[in-house]
């Protein structure tokens, strides 16, 4: 038993604070440029999770003053139709950021579509050119969720230099870019995944554990040493005791109360930061395109 005091990493509050900052920034920049930043979100089909995410992103844009150029397309949309749309958005001077909502229907080639997006408008940070900039430590658009995690840790003055960090999950969306960001912050990084032997021993040795595997309650109390920092990137929709769907993370939140020194809730932790960093990336691209960085 331990008596560690657990501080919640409140992403919802930080995201609200960042939006307030962006409102003022956008007002000042718009006066210089003559127009507000523009974000184009492409959604194909009506995946319920995607519909909810896109709505949240569009509402956030409206709150801070970013103009939305949304395209909600039927699931039957062809590869060539999407490629033409992306090219039009690449060439549209009013559009500073382009986001293709994933996943796309199975008949579409997701990778080719992502590669078609102008890397300087790639606000999801998934184009190979932007991933290459991240590897080299050069300025560029960075993947929103990992960038949101880093911003959340920084806001709580958590010093990463020298820390032992374990990232559970190796996706191109979160695990890989986040590991690179942690390395750039001078953390010592271990990447764990579904094939890792004795995952508990790996995570228990860490000062910082970031769960991004997409498996409900994967990380439990026995896997975390007292005083460690735990960030839960997972968002899993499961059926609750009353039969209604609820959102939980990859971490057993209740079990880590009093064990972790810092802990993110789900919802209200990393999720809001992902949207906040999408707005940040759009404004960054807008500034870069007008020489205002």
Q: Residue 17 falls within a domain, yes or no?
A: no
Does 46 appear as a known binding residue? no
Q: Same structural domain for residues 101 and 172?
A: no
Q: Same structural domain for residues 171 and 229?
A: yes
Name the pairing type of β-strands 208-211 and 229-232: parallel
Q: Residue 209 falls within a domain, yes or no?
A: yes
CA torsion, ordered 7, 210, 267, 38, to nearest 10 deg: 110
Q: Residue 232 falls within a domain, yes or no?
A: yes
Q: Give 247-277 pLDDT, tens digit per residue.
A: 899 999 999 999 999 999 999 999 999 999 9
Q: Residue 280 falls within a domain, yes or no?
A: no
Q: Give 65-114 pLDDT, tens digit per residue.
A: 999 999 999 999 999 999 999 999 999 999 999 999 999 999 999 999 99
Q: Same structural domain for residues 115 and 212?
A: no
Residue 66 belongs to a domain with what CATH number?
3.40.50.10860
Does 171 appear as a known binding residue? yes
Q: Give 202-261 pLDDT, tens digit per residue.
A: 999 999 999 999 999 999 999 999 999 999 999 998 888 888 888 899 999 999 999 999
Residue 208 belongs to a domain with what CATH number?
3.40.50.720
Q: Same structural domain for residues 114 and 166?
A: no
Per-residue pLDDT, 13: 97
Q: Give 150-194 pLDDT, tens digit per residue.
A: 999 999 999 999 999 999 999 999 999 999 999 999 999 999 999
Among residues 120, 135, 163, the one where a domain terminates is 120
pLDDT band at 2 (very low <50, low <70, confident <90, very high): low
> Measured on CA atoms in the order 104, 107, 109, 113, is the torsion positive or negative?
negative
Instruction: Catalytic residue, from 96, 120, 122, 124: name it.
Output: 124
Residue 1 above 60 pLDDT?
no
Q: Same structural domain for residues 182 and 266?
A: yes
The number of distinct structural domains making up the chain is 2
**CB burial string 189-216: b at 16+ within 10 A, e below:** bbbbeeebeebeebbbebbbbbbbbeeb
Catalytic residue status for 79: no
Does 195 appear as a known binding residue? no
Instruction: Catalytic residue, from 57, 121, 176, 207: name it.
Output: 57
Q: Same structural domain for residues 54 and 112?
A: yes
Catalytic residue status for 101: yes
Q: For the whole prediction, is pTM greater than 0.85?
A: yes
CA 228 to mean position of chain CA atoms? 22
Range of the domain at 77: 35-120
Instruction: Catalytic residue, from 96, 101, 122, 232: name it.
Output: 101
Q: Same structural domain for residues 160 and 261?
A: yes
* Beta carbons of 192 and 209 less than 8 angstroms apart: no
Q: Same structural domain for residues 252 and 162?
A: yes
Does 84 appear as a known binding residue? no
Q: Same structural domain for residues 111 and 186?
A: no
Q: At what angle do helices 270-289 and 48-64 cross, to 10 degrees?
A: 50
Long-range CB contacts (< 8 A, 24+ apart) of 109-115? 109/79, 112/79, 112/83, 113/79, 113/82, 113/83, 113/86
Q: Residue 65 falls within a domain, yes or no?
A: yes
Q: Residue 183 falls within a domain, yes or no?
A: yes
Average pLDDT over residues 39-63: 93
């Amino acid at each position: 038993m331990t008596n560690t005091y657990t501080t919640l990493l409140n992403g919802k509050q930080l995201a609200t604070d960042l939006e307030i900052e962006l409102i003022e920034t956008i007002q000042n920049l718009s006066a210089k440029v003559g127009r507000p930043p523009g974000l184009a979100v492409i959604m194909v089909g009506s995946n319920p999770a995607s519909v909810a995410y896109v709505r949240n992103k569009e509402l956030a844009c409206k709150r801070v003053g970013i103009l939305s150029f949304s395209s909600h397309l039927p699931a039957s949309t062809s590869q060539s139709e999407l490629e033409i749309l992306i090219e039009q958005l690449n060439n549209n001077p009013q559009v500073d950021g382009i986001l293709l909502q994933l996943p796309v229907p199975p008949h579409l080639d997701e990778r080719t579509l992502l590669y078609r997006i102008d890397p300087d408008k790639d606000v999801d940070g998934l184009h190979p050119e932007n991933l290459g900039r991240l590897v080299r430590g050069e300025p560029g658009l960075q993947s929103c969720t990992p960038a949101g995690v880093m911003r959340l840790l920084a806001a709580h003055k958590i010093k990463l230099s020298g820390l032992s960090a374990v990232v559970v999950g190796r996706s191109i969306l979160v695990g890989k870019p986040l590991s690179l960001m942690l390395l750039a912050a001078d953390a010592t990084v271990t990447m764990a995944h579904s094939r890792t032997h004795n995952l508990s021993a790996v995570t228990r040795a860490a000062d910082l554990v970031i769960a991004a595997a997409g498996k409900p309650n994967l990380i439990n109390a026995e896997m975390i040493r007292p005083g460690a920092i735990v960030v839960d990137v997972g968002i899993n929709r499961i059926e609750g005791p009353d039969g209604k769907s609820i959102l939980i993370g990859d971490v057993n939140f209740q079990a880590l109360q009093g064990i972790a020194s810092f802990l993110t809730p789900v919802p209200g932790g990393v999720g809001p930061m992902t949207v906040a960093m999408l707005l940040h990336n759009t404004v960054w691209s807008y500034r870069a395109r007008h020489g205002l960085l």
